[in-house]
Structure 1
């Protein structure tokens, strides 16, 4: 009888450990087609608790940026930014979508056929962190 109790305790311990590992593992966010039809992902970046996606519609010449959180349905700070390339560190209101969202920030659009753009986003509890890059096309 003590042997069965030890075996049961071992199984329960392993099951609990497995559940802890499964619950603690977050999957990276994937693009959710929020920009609409005709947009294809041309770049992406990990921005902490989510991913920011840069998309392009070759028939219209518009770029679009969306940041998708790693925990869909959970309110979190998310941001998406897109503008024509600038040396300014200030972003205008039409160039970004920042706030607390349950699924994603954006979409933010800019016509940029043959131009360089600044793009990026945030998805973290640290509201001051913004990752961004420059893309030319």
Structure 2
């Protein structure tokens, strides 16, 4: 779990999962504080590092995602937005 943004007033939580059976990574963005349970812009995006990917975004009350990418044995880039706050992970969850 990663706070959105990395520092300052938290607006959301980014969660990243890996399913070894399917070889897929998954990203979800949850609201926190003022963005939890209220319809605000939320986005979850995931891709194989440096490649193309998948995004789920919109005005959601609870969460954006899940967004999936097949990344077995590779690093991923993940980004999340909750309200006006962003978080980006580059070259993460390699394996």
Instruction: Say whether the fold is shared (TM-score over 0.5).
Output: yes
* 1:45 alignment counterpart: 2
For 1:59, the equivalent position in structure 2 comes to 21
- Structure 1: how far apart are the matches of 2:36 and 2:12? 10
In the alignment, structure 1 residue 117 sits paired with structure 2 residue 76: yes
1:60-116 deviations in Å (ceiling 9; x for gaps):
110000001125431111110100111x7xxx6x61112210110000000000011
1: CA distance between counterparts of 2:18 and 2:3? Answer: 19
Flag the structure with more relative contact order, 1 or 2, with Cα contacts below 8 A and sequence separation at least 6.
2
Question: Equivalent residue for 1:97?
Answer: 56
> What runs of 5+ residues in structure 2 fail to find an aligned partner?
5-9
What is the root-mean-square deviation in Å for CA atoms of aligned residues? 1.8
Runs of 4+ in 1 over 2 A off after TM superposition: none
Q: Displacement of 1:130 after TM fit?
A: 2.9
Bigger Rg, structure 1 or 2: 1
Alignment length, in residue pairs? 86
User: Given the two structures, how large is their TM-score scaled by the length of structure 1?
Assistant: 0.57
CA deviation vs aligned residue, 1:5-49 (integer Å, no higher than 9, x gap) = xxxxxxxxxxxxxxxxxxxxxxxxxxxxxxxxxxxxxxx211141
Could you tell me the TM-score, scaled by structure 2's length? Answer: 0.80
Greater share of residues in helix: 1
1:130 aligns with one of 86, 90, 93: 86
Partners in 2 of 1:46 and 1:97 — Cα distance? Answer: 18
